[in-house]
């Protein structure tokens, strides 16, 4: 993959959560049509997604103090 000179993009936790939710929704839609082909382990992990969506995850976006160091 070629290296691109792209500036770092920082988004707040609200937008990061929205991106994660959007990815999760599309993943669930895609995988729901293939549920017969999934292993039991993968199916169990997919079924845990709603539970994990409700859990408070640590932010991956640095705070202002962290970004100035």
11 within 8 A of 61, measured Cβ to Cβ: yes
pLDDT, tens digit, 9 for 90 and up, residues 12-56: 888 888 998 999 888 888 877 655 677 888 888 888 888 877 777
Is a pLDDT exceeding 80 seen at residue 8?
Answer: no
Nearest CA-CA partner of 54 in 9, 24, 32, 31: 24
DSSP state of 6: -
Global pTM exceeds 0.95 = no
Would you list the domain boundaries of the chain?
22-55
Q: Can you tell me the distance from the alpha carbon of 20 to that of 17, in angstroms, rounded to the nearest whole number?
A: 5
67 within 8 A of 10, measured Cβ to Cβ: yes
């Amino acid at each position: 993959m070629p290296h691109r000179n792209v500036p770092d993009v920082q988004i707040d936790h609200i937008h990061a959560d929205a991106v994660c939710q959007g990815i999760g929704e599309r993943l669930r839609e895609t995988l729901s049509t293939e549920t017969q082909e999934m292993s039991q382990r993968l199916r169990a992990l997919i079924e845990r997604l709603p539970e994990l969506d409700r859990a408070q995850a640590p932010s991956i976006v640095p705070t202002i103090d962290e970004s100035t160091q």
